[in-house]
Structure 1
Amino acid sequence: MICTLYFLALLSSTTAFGRMGMWSKPRNETGGGNEDRCTCDAFLPSSTFPIKDLEVVEQMAGVISQKLEVEMGKIEEYETKITSYAEKIVKLTAEIVKMEKNPDDYNDADIEDVKVELIQVEALIKELQLSIKSSTAVFQSLQVQATQMVETLNKLEKTYDKSLVLATRREYIKVQTQLEECERRHQELFFPNIGSCAHTGVSRVGKPIVSHLNAHLSTSHNFGGWGKDSKPIPERESMYWFSSYTSPYIGDIYFYSNYKNLLLRTHFQHHSLHNSYKGNGNNYILHENTLYYQLSSPFGLGKLNFTTMSYQSRVIPGASSRFSYSNSPSQIFDFSSDETGLWVTYATEESSGRMIIAKIDELSFGIVEEWMTSIYKPGVSNAFMVCGVLYVIRTVDTHTEEIFYTFDTNTKEESYISIPFERFQDKYSNLHYNPTDQKLYMYNDGYYVTYHLWFNHTASVTVETPLLLNTSVE
């Protein structure tokens, strides 16, 4: 018998990682004699593994890491300078108040001295502003480099064995975590208003930060949600949660101790809601380690506390199941959490589909107060609450969403605005605001996406949110 042996080999050398696969395929063939022959045909790949590309990515990771350490040092210097400047401003303010009350006690020389000090403080503030802009530019530059790393790694993983680039992928995760921490420190230092409502509303939405494909690594899981607890319990301040499914249904929820473990898909806790607590729709949130979500039967609100595993449900008389958001089915009850507490929006037959805002009492799980808006719910794509104000979103085109309407429950006033922002993929099933970091969390066709929100008192500082691309982590 004559057989032909085919084998495919990648040369294992300094320019190619290798593994060998071989198989035999028998076939009848007329030979020149009676002896058995084995003909070996070798097929070598057209290209070898690009180790140089991987080395470039590794070097880039090292450079970015070093630069981030420098920036973290600068932020510490900024903290010291801001404290010093604040003390000087307080002293100068007190001195000027004294002068205004007792002008006769001061001569021209005293006034001139205060003017000089004011000029010095102004110069220091301008110097600090330039430093902030410099750091912002560095963040943007580093993010561009990080994006290039992702693109290279994704390309290598699609073409070659993923295990070969795993170590470099982990190095990227380390860099991304450092960048996140540096950005967080920068945010806390220069925008220390988190938790405060001392502003007149949202002024801008940052660029989409795309962290990762969902933990199932499946684009078919395009319904779901993710984010952070809007009122975290002690020792879970850094926790992230995630849930997804192939339809608008909530069956499982996963918890991750921090952002890095979210990216690595290493959860520390998992709860199944398939049997006793199952729900549908995707506008659910986590608040004080409690899941607030939509029930399918009976149609209403569900509340599941993961600390005590206690469960509550609530039916809202008049709430209709006919009025969903335009971009996703079964989005009837939309839960929100902001600086003032818990909310849910929905529509009724009596309201003719117009959105109703309801404030939730956390203890009784009842409705405290309701407000009716003039917005027809099926005509919008989503909504969220900030400081007691409803922000409603509509789709502009295939890549753009727009915050176009607000309703202030404090004043009962509504207004039309225009704040466009970029959408990563075509559709999204969950969008909510988190008051602990002033970000929007979006589950966008299977991807984790976040947006920084900027308010009227931060709009003067031109800090642009960096863009992160998808990273698949094995």
Structure 2
Amino acid sequence: MMYLLLILTIVSPAHAWQSIEDWGSGSVDSSVDEFGQCVCNVFLPDTSFPADRVEHMQISSNELSVEVKVQINKVESLKGQLVILLSELSNLTARVEILESGPDKYIKLEFELLRIELREFEALVTQLKTSLNISSPAIDSLYIEIRNMSLIVDQLESYDQSNLEVIRIEFAKLQKKLEKCQDDKDDFSNAQIGSCKHGGILRIGKPIVSQLNADLNAGYKYGGWGKDSKPLPGSENMNWYSGFTDTLVSRITLYADYYKLIMRQGFSTHELYLVNKYDWRGTGNNYIVRANTLYYQFRSPFSMAKYNMTSKTAEYKVVPEATTRFSYHYSPNQNLDFAADETGMWVTYATEESNGKLVLGKIDEESFALEEVWQTSVYKQSVTNIFMICGVLHATRSVDTQTEEIFYTFDTNKNEESHVSIRFEKFQDFYVYLDYNPTDQKLYMYNNGYYVSYNVKFRDA
């Protein structure tokens, strides 16, 4: 049996759907191969069909199909990410709504309570000031702190709950200061300013620590601060400060009031290095400001000097027999110690003739000379400092690192000396400056670089 195999070899391609009749114009060859099969070769004359382009289109179609699938996968992936982002956005929106509603729920109420407490604090300080009928750095400082706290409350009201802890801490500190003021109110002076109708010091109040010196330098251990003991009109509230790393006296800064002192906003600084082309620097730490004039110990020659901060002029006057051999217990170069009280201005020193015992001199302010001198029995080097109140010298000494004691007095009105024991607390052990100011009846101490003050309580006359 013979099988017929038809093999079409398309030399010039024809359309697959073309009918047999259309092939008539071509030629067909036939033959039998070695296996007895019939093989036919059909040759088409039409060469217009673009077979190569169809093949390219098929390849491009396959590549495009693959690319579409890749893009579809990307879209599916982006869709998944979009779902996640929409979910996170919904959570974020919910959190923002909570934050927006939070202040109405808890912060607003808390801040309103803080404002109520501040008003109570202010009323308490006002009542305290009225009952005492005086102005003091402690009370002024409390007013400033209350005012600053009010500003802080306003600024932080829009913030989160954690800021309330900061305010609570500050409120706790403020509360303690108010309580301390209430506890110490019995230590405020009971004598009229400028009057000596009392029986002397009964006790010294607790130390009121303002802050580190205006240079904000713990190394500035030597210096002093305070108020003008005889202020010019308009300068009643003026404060001053001078400090350095050693006992050199080279500069003094003035502040309009206590608040400006604390804020380190001085309005005038005077340098003693070149005053009228001359070096007017001094030494020691026991200077005072009186009638806008700095009284201090001059270096060369060793003498008392004064620098008028109004006219910017200086002069010195040698103190007869005064020596540089005997300084106070705490610090060197404290040989001339100036003081002021209700009765005028004073200076203490030691002489070789007195064998180092303390000598007290009253200064005539017009002539800038000693008008009267008293010899005491107390050895100067055993004394840590002195101050004057109503013509009475008060000498101090150290009891321990936390306690100071007024142990000796000399009354120039009666020419009498006494041994007493009036103890008071120190902020820190080392101090170089201690003076009384008759304009507010307070003691001012420069204690290891810090501003410290004390209220004085007097005995009834």
Residue 295 (1) aligns with residue 298 (2): yes
Match of 1:70 among 123, 140, 143: 123
Residue number in structure 2 paired with 1:426: 429
Measure the CA separation in 1 of the matches of 2:226 and 2:264.
14
> Quick one: which amino acid aligns to residue 349 of structure 2?
Y
Q: Distance in 1 between matches of 2:212 and 2:460?
A: 34
Paired AA for residue 244 in structure 2: Y
Structure 2 residue matching 1:191: 3-state secondary structure: coil
Question: Per-residue CA shift, 1:392-451, capped at 9, x if unaligned?
Answer: 000111111100000000111000000011111121111100001111100011000001
Instruction: Give, in angstroms, the shift of residue 189 of structure 1.
Output: 10
Name the Cα RMSD after superposition.
3.9
Change (3 A) 1:218 1:63: farther
The match for 1:401 among 391, 401, 404 is 404
Could you tell me which of 359, 364, 383 is aligned with 1:361? 364
Deviations 1:171-200 (A, max 9, x none): 99xx79x97xx99xx899983511100112
> Cα deviation per residue 1:325-350 (whole Å; 9 max; x = unaligned)?
00111110000000000000000000
Aligned to 2:394: 391
Aligned match for 1:329, one of 327, 332, 342: 332
Partners of 2:441 and 2:374 lie apart in 1 by 24
Change (3 A) 1:187 1:399: closer
CA-CA distance at 1:64 after TM superposition: 5.8
User: 1:456 and 1:190, CA in 2 relative to 1: closer, same or farther beyond 3 A?
Assistant: closer
Contact between 2:402 and 2:428, CA under 8 Å: does it hold in 1? Answer: yes
Cα shift at 1:65:
3.8
Compared CA separation, residues 65 and 372, structure 1 to 2 (3 A): farther
The question of 1:267 aligning with 2:266 is answered yes
Query: Following the alignment from structure 1 to structure 2, what is the Cα–Cα distance between the partners of residues 449 and 400?
Result: 14
1:378 alignment partner in structure 2: 381
Alpha-carbon distance in structure 2 between the residues aligned to 1:66 and 1:389? 43
SS in 2 for 1:363: coil
State the alpha-carbon separation in 1 of the partners of residues 341 and 397 from structure 2: 21
User: Which residue does the alignment assign to 1:281?
Assistant: 284
Would you say 1:232 and 2:235 are equivalent positions? Answer: no
CA distance in 1, matches of 2:295, 2:268: 18
Are the counterparts in 1 of residues 187 and 203 from structure 2 also a CA contact under 8 Å?
no
Residue aligning to 1:19: none
Question: Structure 1 residue 68: deviation in Å?
Answer: 3.8
Aligned partner of 2:448 among 445, 450, 461: 445
Q: Distance in 2 between matches of 1:77 and 1:350?
A: 52
How many Å separate the matches in 1 of 2:453 and 2:297?
A: 23
Partner of 1:221: 220
Gap runs ≥5 in structure 2? 1-107, 153-162
CA deviations on 1:96-127 (whole Å, 9 max, x unpaired) are: xxxxxxxxxxxxxxxxxxxxxxxxxxxxxxxx
State how 1:333-344 maps to structure 2 within 5 Å: 333-344=336-347
User: 1:78, CA displacement in angstroms?
Assistant: 5.9
Question: Relative to structure 1, is the Cα distance of residues 366 and 444 closer, same or farther in structure 2, using a 3 angstrom cutoff?
Answer: same
Report the Cα distance in structure 2 between the residues aligned to 1:358 and 1:58, rounded to whole angstroms. Answer: 59
> CA separation in 2, counterparts of 1:243 and 1:78?
34
Q: Distance in 2 between matches of 1:62 and 1:395?
A: 45
Cα distance in 1 between the residues matched to 2:336 and 2:114: 44
**d(CA) in 1 for partners of 2:113, 2:404:** 34
Q: Which residue of 1 aligns with 2:78?
A: none
Residue 74 of structure 1 and its aligned partner are, at CA, apart by 4.0
Q: Give the length in aligned residue pairs.
A: 323
Which stretch shifts more, 349-358 or 272-281? 272-281
> CA, structure 1 residues 248+70, in 2 after alignment: closer, same or farther (shift >3 Å)?
same
Q: Which amino acid aligns with 2:120?
A: K
**Residue 388 of structure 1: how far off its partner (Å):** 0.2
What is the CA–CA distance in structure 1 between the aligned matches of 2:238 and 2:377, rounded to whole Å? 37
Q: Secondary structure at the match of 1:66?
A: helix
Q: Are 1:351 and 2:354 an aligned pair? A: yes
- Superposition deviation, residue 296 in structure 1: 0.8
* CA displacement at 1:360 relative to structure 2: 0.2
Tell me the amino acid that sits aligned with residue 356 of structure 2.
G
In the TM superposition, 1:30-109 aligns within 5 A as 62=115, 65-71=118-124, 74=127
Alignment match, 2:415: 412
The ranges of structure 1 where at least 4 consecutive aligned residues each deviate by more than 2 angstroms after the TM superposition are 57-65, 71-79, 186-192
The secondary structure found in structure 2 opposite 1:378 is helix
Does the aligned pair in 1 maintain the 2:434–2:443 contact within 8 Å?
A: yes
Assess, with a 3 A threshold, how the Cα gap between structure 1 residues 71 and 298 changes in structure 2: closer, same or farther. same
- Give the TM-score normalised by the residue count of structure 2: 0.63
Contact 2:340 2:437 in 1 (8 A): yes
Q: Matches of 2:293 and 2:313 in 1, distance apart? A: 9
Instruction: Give 1:311's match in structure 2, choosing from 310, 314, 320.
Output: 314
* Aligned CA distance change for structure 1 residues 192 and 316 (closer, same or farther; 3 Å): closer
* 2:201 counterpart of 1:202: yes
Letter in 1 for 2:323: S
Aligned counterparts of 1:416 and 1:393: Cα–Cα separation in 2: 11
TM-score calculated relative to the size of structure 1: 0.61
Letter aligned with residue 274 of structure 1? Y
Query: Aligned runs of 1:130-145 on 2, under 5 Å?
Result: none
CA distance in 2, matches of 1:60, 1:323: 59
* Structure with greater Cα Rg: 2
Per-residue Cα deviation, 1:268-290 (whole angstroms, up to 9, x for no partner): 11111123320000000101111
Structure 2 distance, partners of 1:389, 1:344, is: 13
Identify which of structures 1 and 2 has the higher relative contact order when contacts are C-alpha pairs closer than 8 Å and 6+ apart: 1
* Letter of the 1:191 counterpart: N
Query: Helix, strand or coil: the match of 2:424?
Result: strand
CA distance in 1 between partners of 2:128 and 2:425 (Å): 29
What amino acid is the match of 1:223?
Y
SS at the partner of 1:429? Answer: strand
Q: Partner amino acid for 1:382?
A: N
Shift of 1:77: 7.8
Percent same amino acid among aligned pairs? 48
* 1:69 Cα offset (Å): 3.1
Aligned with 2:195: secondary structure? Answer: coil
Task: Please list every run of 5 or more consecutive structure 1 residues that lacks an aligned counterpart in the other structure.
Answer: 1-54, 83-138, 154-163, 459-474
